[in-house]
A and B are shown apart, each in its own frame.
Chain A
Amino acid sequence: MIEVRNLVKKYGDHVAVDHLNFTVEKGKIYGFLGPNGAGKSTTMNMITGYIGSTEGDILIDGHNILEEPEEAKKKIGYLPELPPLYQDMTAKEYLEFAAELKGIPREKREGNINGVMSTTKIQNVKNRLIKNLSKGYKQRVGLAQALLGYPEIIILDEPTVGLDPKQIIEIRDLIKSLGKNHTVILSSHILSEVSAVCDYVLIIDKGKLVASDSPENLSRIMSGANSLEMTVKGKEGEIRKALDLVENIEDVVYHNSIVPGACDFTIKISGQMDMRENIFFALAEAKCPILKMQSSNMSLEEVFLKLTDERKPAVRLTENDIFEDGIKEEGEE
C-alpha cells in the first residue's frame, strides 16, 4: 500500500529523517511512536506530499508521491498535527470546501459530508464558526476532513491531542472501526494509545527506525523472562522460605508494601512456564495469604524507553518521570 524507501530529510545540517525504510500493508492500523522531535510529523508530511524528501522514494499504491502527486494524494486523507481549519468558516462550509477540493463528485458530496459528520459526531455544531468551537471539536472537524471521500489510506498525526478522556475513547473506537476497511497510520507519543489501537508499531528515534513489530511481540521480545507482581501477607523471611521451594524462580525482589503487615515482591520466572498455581499452593502451605498477584510483561512504555534511550541514560531519567506521570493518568481511564 505504502512503500517508503531510504527516506532522508535534511534541514541544513540537521537530519530529521535518516534512511527510513518500511512498508505499510492494506487494512491494518499502524502506529508511529517516538519522542518529541523524532521525525514522526516530518515523515507523515513527506508521505502526504506536503514537503519533499531530500533523498528516497515514497510509493502510494505504486504511485510516486513526487512524480504522480494527484494520483497518490487521491488515496490519502490527512489530519496534520494542527488541524488545517479556516477559522471564519462554519464546520459545514469547511467540509463542503474540502470535499470540492478533493474532487468528490457533486452528487455524492452531500451524503459524504453528512456521513463523516455523523461518524465524528459534529452534527450539532455544523453551523457554528470554527473559531468558536472548542479544541476537541476542532480536532473532530479536522478528522472529518481527513475522512471525506473515504480514502484508502488515512493518516492521523496525534489524533487525540486536546480531547477529553471520553472523546479519546470515542476516537480510538472510531479509528479501530476505520481499520476494518482502511489503512490507518497514526502517530502518537501516548504509548497506551498505540498499544490499545494499533496492529503494528513503528518506533522512531532521531529519524531512524529502531523497532517495528506488533505491540505484543515487542513487549515479549524485550522482556525476555516473564515476571509476577505480588502482595503477600506475612513476614519477608517466611515468604522467601516458602518461595524457595517453588521451581523456576530466578529472582525475588522485596519492596515495602503500603498494606500493613504485608510485603510486595517482584518475582522473575525463567522460561515461559506459568508458575502461579505452584506459588499459590506454596504460600498457602506456609499460611501466607496472597492479597494480590499479577503477571507483568514488559510494558510498551518500557520497551519504548529502552529502545529510544539506550545511548543516553541521563536523558532517560527525566523523560521517564514525565512519561510515568502521563501513563498513570492514561491508565486510569
Chain B
Amino acid sequence: MLAVYKKELRSYLTSMIGYVFIAFILLILGIYFTAYNLQYASPDFGTTLSAVIFLFLIITPILTMRILSEEKKNKTDQLLLTAPVPVWKIVMGKYLSMLTIYLIPILITGCYPLIMGKYGTVSYATVYIAVFGFFLLGCAQIAVGLFLSSVTESQIIAAVITFAALFCSYVMDGISSFFSSTSAASFVTFLVISVLIALMVYQMTKDMVLSSILGVVLIAINIVLYIVRSSLYEGLIQKFLDLLSIANHYDSFVGGILDVSGIIYMLSVICIFVFLTIQCIQKRRWS
C-alpha cells in the first residue's frame, strides 16, 4: 500500500496535475475569502466555504480522472494486479494519495481564520468544524471520482462522467422539485424503480427466475407498505433524492455543528465508492 501511495504522490507532484489542482482551489478560495471575509469583513468563514463548493465539479475530475483509467490504458495495471498485493491495498494507496494532495490546500486554508483573528473576533471552533466538513465533502467526492475512473479506460470519459455525476448531485435540489411530493406519485416511482432493479439484476446475472422473484418481492413490499401506511410515501422521492445530493449534507457543518449524521453520511459515501472501486477491479479477475 505504501509503495502505491508514494508512487502516486510523486506522480502528482512531478506532473502538472497536482499543482494545478492545489493552485485552482487556493485561487478560487482566495478570491472568495478576500471578497467575503476581508472586503466585506464577515467573520463567517463557513459561508465562504459553502459558497465555493461548486469548485469540486471542476477540480475532482482533474484529480481523479487518470488515477485508474490510465493504468488500464497503459496496461500498467498488469504490474499492480500480478504483484503479491491485495486489490484493496492498491485502491487505498491511490485514494489516500489523492486525499494527501487535497489536504495541502485545506491546511493552507486553515491559516485563513488566523488572519481574520488578527483583526477581529473569530469563533475558531465554528470555523474549523466548517473546514473539517469541507475536507470530508472533498473526500466523498474524490471517492466518487475514483470509482468512475475505474469503470473506463479513457481519462476524458472518466473526467466527463465524474463531472456529470457531481453536477447532478450538485443540482439535486432543483431536480427533486420536478417531482410531485404526493404519496401516489412516490408509490408509482418506486414501482418503476423496483422493475428497473429487477431488470438490472437480470442484465447482470442472466437469471430469469432470480430477477423475476426479486422484482415481484420488491413490488409486493411496495404495495403492502402503500396500503398499510400510505403516509410513508409522502415526499419519499425528495428524501431519496436528497441522499444523492452530497453537498446538502455539508450544510450543517457550515453553521459550526459537528453533525454526526453528516459525518456518517460522508464516511458511508467514501466506503461505498471505495468498495465499488475494489469490486470493479476484482470483477474482471473473477468473471
On A, residues with C-beta under 8 Å from B are 45, 48-52, 54, 66, 69-71, 73-74, 76, 78, 80, 82, 84-89, 93, 97-98, 100-103, 145
Contacts and interface: CB of A to CB of B under 8 A. Distances in A.
Given A82-B75, A84-B77, A48 B7 contact: no
Given A84-B74, A85-B76, A88-B11, A102 B286 contact: no
30 contacts: A48-B82, A50-B81, A50-B82, A50-B285, A52-B285, A52-B287, A66-B286, A69-B84, A69-B86, A70-B84, A71-B84, A73-B83, A73-B84, A74-B84, A78-B78, A78-B82, A80-B78, A84-B77, A84-B78, A86-B11, A86-B74, A87-B74, A89-B11, A97-B7, A98-B79, A100-B3, A100-B6, A101-B85, A102-B83, A145-B79
A129 to B, nearest CB: 10
Contacts of A48: 82
B83 A84 contact: no
Interface in B154-175: none
Contacts of A86: 7, 11, 74, 76
B73 to A, nearest CB: 11
Contacts of A80: 75, 78, 82
Contacts, number: 73
B80 interface: yes
A74 B74 CA distance: 23
B2 interface: yes
A132 to B, nearest CB: 15
A84 B76 contact: yes
Given A52-B287, A88-B14, A102-B83, 19 more contacts: A45-B78, A48-B82, A49-B82, A51-B285, A66-B286, A69-B86, A70-B85, A73-B82, A73-B84, A74-B84, A78-B82, A80-B75, A80-B78, A85-B76, A86-B11, A86-B74, A89-B7, A98-B83, A101-B79
Say whether chain A's binding surface is mostly helix, strand, loop, or mixed. loop
B4 interface: yes
B81 A49 contact: yes
Contacts of A100: 2-3, 6
Contacts of B76: 84-86
A69 B85 CA distance: 8
Contacts of B2: 100
Instruction: Count chain A CB atoms within 10 A of each CB in B14, B78, B82 and give the residue with the most.
Output: B82
A76 B81 CA distance: 12
Contacts of A145: 79
B11 A84 contact: no
Interface of B: 2-4, 6-7, 10-11, 14-15, 74-86, 284-287
B86 to A, nearest CB: 7
A100 B2 CA distance: 8
Instruction: Count chain A CB atoms within 10 A of each CB in B11, B14, B77, B287 and give the residue with the most.
Output: B287
Contacts of B82: 48-50, 73, 76, 78, 80
Instruction: Count chain A CB atoms within 10 A of each CB in B2, B75, B79, B86 and give the residue with the most.
Output: B79
A48 B80 CA distance: 11
A86 to B, nearest CB: 6
Contacts of B79: 84, 98, 101, 145
Nearest to A78: B82
Contacts of A87: 74
A82 B77 CA distance: 11
A51 B3 CA distance: 22
Contacts of B14: 88
Contacts of B74: 84-87
Contact of B4 (A74, A84, A101): A101
A87 B81 CA distance: 18
Nearest to A99: B3
B84 A103 contact: yes
A88 B79 CA distance: 16
A144 to B, nearest CB: 12
A49 B77 CA distance: 12
B256 to A, nearest CB: 43
A73 B84 CA distance: 5
A89 to B, nearest CB: 8
Contacts of B10: 93
Question: 10 tightest A-B contacts by CB?
Answer: A100-B3, A84-B79, A73-B84, A84-B76, A74-B84, A48-B82, A101-B3, A52-B285, A52-B286, A84-B78
Nearest to A77: B82
Nearest to B3: A100
A101 B83 contact: yes
A128 B269 CA distance: 41
Contact of A49 (B3, B6, B285): B285
Contact of B86 (A54, A70, A89, A97): A70
A88 B15 contact: yes
A258 to B, nearest CB: 47
Instruction: Count chain A CB atoms within 10 A of each CB in B2, B4, B83, B286 and give the residue with the most.
Output: B83
Contacts of A51: 284-285
B282 to A, nearest CB: 9
A50 B2 CA distance: 21
